Amino acid sequence: DGGITQSPKYLFRKEGQNVTLSCEQNLNHDAMYWYRQDPGQGLRLIYYSQIVNDFQKGDIAEGYSVSREKKESFPLTVTSAQKNPTAFYLCASSTTSVNTGELFFGEGSRLTVL
Nearest to 35 by CA among 101, 70, 87: 87
Dist CA 57 CA 13 (whole Å): 24
Give 6's strand partners: 23
Interface pattern 47-86 for another protein (x via CB under 8 A)? -x-x-------x----------------------------
* Cβ distance to another protein smaller for residue 13 or 60: 60
Q: Which of 41, 54, 83, 114 binds another protein (CB under 8 A)?
A: 41
- Candidates 15-23, 36-44, 60-68, 77-85 — which segment interacts with another protein by CB under 8 A? 36-44
Helix-strand-coil split of the chain, %, nearest 5: 0, 50, 50
Q: Which residues bind another protein (CB under 8 A)?
A: 4, 31, 40-45, 48, 50, 58, 90, 92, 94, 96, 98-103, 105-108
